[in-house]
Structure 1
Amino acid sequence: MILLQFTYHRPISELPEASKQYLNNGMLFFDIETTGLSSSRNRIYLVGLGWLDGEQVTVQQYLAENASDEASVLAAALAFMTDRQFDTLVTFNGTTFDLPFFEKRCEKHATASDIFSTMDHLDLYRRIHPIRHFFPMEHFRQKDYEKLLGIGREDQYDGGKLVAVYHRFEKTKKQADCDLLCLHNKEDVFGMFHLISLLACLQVKEDVSIDSLQATSANEVSIRFHLKAPVPISIRQLKTTGSLLLRKTSGLAVLPLYQGTLRCYLPNPMDYFYLTAEDTVVHKSVGQFVDPAFRRKAEPEECYTEFVLPVEYLDGEVHPYCEGSLFENVGKALEGFLRQV
């Protein structure tokens, strides 16, 4: 049995400022490489751990040379985590994959993995997912987010393609294959130190301060606001309900203004009568007492009460509502718009 261990360092100065505001010495970045997706049939061959170490980022890896080394890899990673006593585990999609897979393999080898219960878990994939539409990407894998942030990778493999490389390494022990395996995992771990900067984009939904409001036309208002922390990339959103531009700590929202009767469209129009003389709808339980000459079955487009934010029936957009003076309620209008985007 041979357990291979590798350690790498990079200066913290390489990280964007937006990342540094979220990092602390209690964080442990965690990533595993496996021979497949099934924790019952496949195994872990590599564990990568990353943390802040003074003015540098350190990544340490434990690599199994063959199947019999898996238990040693798990034990070594657990021993390190227990000894250092980190308070936050950081992963990318670890909730769904890394943690349950690791715990299942520990269970198979009768190795206690309760160290995870002593740490908070920051799953970057899940945390960023609610704002994924901010980013012009078709897919939302770690490599896609890294490309968005301008992070270049030397590694050209994904986890699935590396399985064949690992099985070849088991047989031949070639250094070139070992380097490929470690490179992929190392860049995954280092990459998460960059991806954490995207948490700054969540401020848009949580914490903004309004600087100014200006009516640019009779049908449009612009709101300038600022963020407490800089976003790592510029963001532009264009929607029929408004546009949003974010750059560093500055934000601009341009909202269209609508005037007219607000309508609340009711579900199940077949349950309502339309009263022709009053131009309104009532539920059949009430409308049954109205003279049939003055009532008829309600059509879907007229089955509403006078309060809603859609402009037309079947309008898929929901518009933020701002009653009274817009200048008095600008915060609510902006908050409503930002919740939508």
Structure 2
Amino acid sequence: MEKVVNEAHRSKFQTLEQFYTSEDLLVFDIETTGFTAEHTALYLIGCAYYKNRQWNICQWFNQDGRSEADILEQFLSFAMNYKYVITYNGDGFDIPYITKKAKAYGMENTLAHMESIDIYKQIRFLKDVLHMENMKQKSVERFLGIHRLDKYSGGDLIKVYQEYVKLPVKTNKQLLLQHNYEDLEGLLDCTSMLAYCKFKAGCLLVRKMSVRQNRLLFSLELEYQLPKRLTIGLNDIIITGFQKEATINAPIYTEELKFFFDNYRDYYYLPAEDMAVHKSVASYVDKNYREPAKKETCYLRKKGYFISQIDDGILSGYKRDYEDKESFIELTDSFLQDLDLLHAYARHIIRLALS
């Protein structure tokens, strides 16, 4: 067994301290000769950890093909000092693989006592939002503008490892260690993508509103820094964000809309006035001028200024027709002065846009 320790190169995307206490985190990645733990070998375990105000990378290498148990034991012992384990698709591969190997050797699986943070699972919803071909780690790295020296895939390196065990050549060892090292550095960088998850979760404040060319502009302050510029369209609403600032640009509609009541059986529809009134009031209207309201006719009409809320997520809104899915909020003084409602609207629109 060989143990190699190096410092990780610091990059602007290594912003894990935004989300967690760095000293609690263990970032890890494994290299194997296949996917099935029962029939393949574990030849390299790498982890990144924070110590002395610096991210460091430790690698345990099964250099002779016979040290699998040794590197596993060393890693599991090291891992017991941490609260969280961070991986990229580790819930699907790395952790189950380690779990099976630990069981086979009768070792305590210390990962079982840690909370798993699988970056892939948390950010995969961004594939369509960011127009990405896939959400593999290398694809996310390219999105962030990160360029590797390593040009190999894990599958490519299986043969390199097998050749190294037979004939230890330094350049092959460097290829194996470099690939795992860059996987870990890249994973540290990919954690910056969690800021989009926080954005979707509504970690923001409405700082200002203004009207520009018949559009209502929300200026937002974000709690977490977005690593790359984001622009999304949601119907005619435009959302942009970068670093710790974002905007919602919503068109203002000047028209007559309808507010539909839910309990239509309690209303009469007055065709001459094209409106619904409650039965307690309509009982005084001549029967010839009223009819039982239907879902489609149980409404009041209102002229005013409106913005779309897409659906009825914030308030029971106005619609153009009963069958329409799009719902609108009237821009009344009470709405525009209600900070809680404005925050609710901003969070609702961003959640829908990122879903």
TM-score, shorter chain, exceeding 0.5: yes
CA RMSD after TM alignment: 3.3
Q: Give the number of the structure whose residues are more often strand, by fraction.
A: 2
Partner of 2:258: 261
Could you list the runs of 5+ residues in structure 1 that have no partner in the other structure? Answer: 265-276, 280-293, 295-301
- CA deviations on 1:141-167 (whole Å, 9 max, x unpaired) are 111111122211101111122222222
Cα displacement (A) at 1:224: 0.8
Question: Which has the larger displacement, 131-140 or 55-64?
Answer: 131-140
Q: How does 1:157-306 map to 2 (within 5 A)?
A: 157-204=152-199, 205-218=201-214, 220-257=215-252, 260-261=257-258
Letter in 1 for 2:191: I
Q: In structure 1, how many angstroms separate the alpha carbons of the residues matched to 2:79 and 2:317? A: 53
Q: Separation in 1 of the partners of 2:172 and 2:107?
A: 29
Q: Deviations over 1:211-258 (max 9, x none)?
A: 12223344x321111112322221111232411111221111112345
SS of corresponding position for 1:237 = strand
Distance 1:92 1:232 in 2: 18
Which deviates the most, 182-191 or 247-256?
A: 247-256
Tell me which residue corresponds to 2:349: 337
Return the alpha-carbon distance in structure 1 between the equivalents of residues 150 and 25 of structure 2.
25
Check the 8 A contact 1:18/1:200 in 2, yes or no: no
Residue 34 of structure 1 corresponds to 32
Contact 1:18–1:232 (CA under 8 A) maintained in structure 2: no
Q: Is the 2:160–2:172 contact (alpha carbons within 8 Å) kept by the matching residues of 1?
A: yes
2:44–2:60 Cα contact (<8 Å) kept = yes
Change (3 A) 1:31 1:310: farther
Q: Distance in 2 between matches of 1:213 and 1:170?
A: 65
Secondary structure, in 3 states, of the residue corresponding to 1:86? Answer: coil
Rounded to whole Å, the distance in 2 between the matches of 1:185 and 1:176 is 15
Percent of paired sites with the same residue: 22
Give the structure 2 partner of residue 95 of structure 1.
Answer: 91
2:98 & 2:43 partners in 1: Cα distance? 11
Deviations 1:159-184 (A, max 9, x none): 12222222222222222111111111
Output the amino acid matched with 2:66: S
Equivalent of 1:74 in 72, 75, 88: 72
Counterpart CA distance in 2 for 1:4 and 1:304 is 77
CA contact under 8 A between 1:157 and 1:184: conserved in structure 2? Answer: yes
Q: 1:262 to 1:107 in 2, by over 3 A?
A: farther
Instruction: Give the superposition deviation at 1:332.
Output: 2.7
1:125 maps to 2:137: no
CA distance in 1, matches of 2:329, 2:71: 56
- Does the residue aligned with 1:180 lie in a helix, a strand or coil? helix
CA positional deviation for 1:312:
7.7
Q: Are 1:43 and 2:41 an aligned pair?
A: yes
* Contact 1:24 1:52 (C-alpha < 8 Å) held by counterparts: yes
Aligned mates of 1:72, 1:227 — CA distance in 2: 46
Quote the offset at 1:303 in angstroms.
7.8
Give SS of 1:159's match.
coil
Cα distance in 2, alignment partners of residues 244 and 164 from structure 1:
47
More helix by share: 1
| 1:261, distance to aligned residue in structure 2 (A) | 3.2
Structure 1 residues 69, 208: CA separation in 2 closer, same or farther (over 3 Å shift)?
same
Q: What is the CA-CA distance between 1:128 and the residue it aligns to?
A: 2.0
The verdict on how the C-alpha distance between 1:11 and 1:337 changes in structure 2, with shifts beyond 3 A counting, is same
1:99 deviates by 0.4
Equivalent position SS for 1:261: strand
Number of equivalent positions: 305
C-alpha deviation, 1:10, in angstroms: 3.0
CA distance in 2, matches of 1:32, 1:10: 17
Q: Conserved in 2, the CA contact under 8 Å of 1:30 and 1:90?
A: yes
When normalised by structure 2's length, the TM-score is 0.75
TM-score where L is the length of structure 1: 0.77
Question: C-alpha distance in 2, partners of 1:304/1:172?
Answer: 83
